[in-house]
Amino acid sequence: MADPEARVHTVSVLCPEGLPVELFLDNVMSEVRRALRQAESGAAPMTRSVGEDYGWRDRGWERGGSQFERTLTEKLREHGVGAVARRQTSREAEVLMARLQNTVMALSAVETPEEEEDEGGEADEASERWTLLARVQGLVAAERPNEQAQWVSATVVDTSGSGPQCSLVYDDGRFEAAVPAHISLHLPTSPHISLNLRFEAAVPAHRAQPEPQP
């Protein structure tokens, strides 16, 4: 079992397929920044004291907010998934996932030694693919027209399928195979549920206001 204090966890967010990355980030970036910055009671960030807000270095971005924004945007454009926090402890990853769950699709994965070595540059391999037992959130479309789609937590249980896909076990016990790994959408079986409904649920209705970098 991995050391819970080891900084080997990456938290990534996913952009729904077909949704422009710029529009996605415009709607969620303020909430993502707030989640990254927010202090945790009784815990100390990597470079700060107990109870203080997190800084960019504490979230794995040594070159600050510009590196974070540039890398996240590039990865979302290329792969549909990009890291928002790197080299986190297990607890830090769990708390951050909980803060993001009502805003975006998010996943937490353990970095491999090879991936940690590659992080000296701009590459972030952990954000480009899914790993076995990674914790993710799938957008489960509504079964009826008067219902809304919901984010449902799940665990990746198989990544051996052909192409960029994986199998999930949702926390309520449901199993789904061949989920597109780059979007993690639980597609509906009812033909009257439109794709637009899923996009509307994926992007908060309010328009987030810009705020200073953490």
SS (H, E, C) 122-188: CCCHHHCCCCCCCEEEEEECCCCCCCCCEEEEEEEEECCCCCCEEEEEECCCCEEEEEECCCCEECC
β-strands 150-158, 165-170 pairing? antiparallel
Sequence-distant contacts of 57-66: CB under 8 A, at least 24 apart: 59/84, 59/85, 59/86, 59/88, 59/214, 60/10, 60/85, 60/86, 60/87, 60/88, 60/119, 61/86, 64/213, 65/213, 65/214
Each residue's pLDDT tens digit, 31-45: 999 999 999 999 999
The lowest-confidence range among 2-6, 67-71, 113-117 is: 113-117
- Residue 59 clears pLDDT 90, i.e. is over it: yes
- The H or E element containing residue 47 is none
| Predicted local distance difference test score (pLDDT) of residue 112 | 66
Q: What is the mean predicted confidence (pLDDT) over 108-132? A: 57
- Does residue 70 have a pLDDT over 80? yes
pLDDT reading at 162 higher than 60: no
CA contacts within 13 A on the Cβ side of 201: 21
Check if the beta carbon of residue 88 is closer than 8 Å to that of residue 106: no
Dist CA 30 CA 209 (whole Å): 6
Counting DSSP H helices and E strands in the chain, the numbers are 5, 8
DSSP single-letter state for residue 192:
T
Percent of the chain with pLDDT strictly greater than 90: 45
